[in-house]
Amino acid sequence: SQQGEEDPQALSIQEGENATMNCSYKTSINNLQWYRQNSGRGLVHLILIRSNEREKHSGRLRVTLDTSKKSSSLLITASRAADTASYFCATDAGNTGNQFYFGTGTSLTVIP
C-alpha cells in the first residue's frame, strides 16, 4: 500500500514551541498534501507541495519534501493551543493509478 506513515503518532508540546511531524511514503508521487483534522470535524487542507518543489511556506507552516527519501516534514512554528489537532499527509499514486492515500496521522496537543 502507498499509505503514508506519520511520525510521531502523538506529540505534546508547550504553547510557543515548534512542532515537527514527518511523513514517509512508498512510491513516486505528483504532489503531497497536508491536512488538519480537529476532533469530530472534517479535514482542512493546509498546504500542497508538488514533486518538483523542495520547500514551501504558508504563515507559520513550513513543509519540506525529499523525493529521494520519499519523505516530507511539516513544521509549525510558535505553536498555539488552537493548533491542537490531528495532522495527516496525503499522496497520490503518481503514474501508477488514481488512488489517493492518507497517512496514519500525528495527534498534536499544544498545552497552554
Partner 1 sequence: DAGVIQSPRHEVTEMGQEVTLRCKPISGHNSLFWYRQTMMRGLELLIYFNNNVPIDDSGMPEDRFSAKMPNASFSTLKIQPSEPRDSAVYFCASSWSGWYNEQFFGPGTRLTVL
Question: Which of 19/46 has CB closer to partner 1?
Answer: 46
Shortest distance in whole angstroms from residue 90 CB to partner 1: 8
Q: Which residues bind partner 1 (CB under 8 A)?
A: 3, 30-31, 33, 35, 41-45, 48, 88, 90, 92, 97-105
Distance CA(108)–CA(35), nearest Å, equals 13
Distance CA(14)–CA(20), nearest Å, equals 13
Question: Which of 68/98 has CB closer to partner 1?
Answer: 98
Shortest distance in whole angstroms from residue 41 CB to partner 1: 7
β-strand pairing of 19-24 with 31-37: unpaired
Write phi, then psi, for 26 (nearest 5 degrees): -110, -35
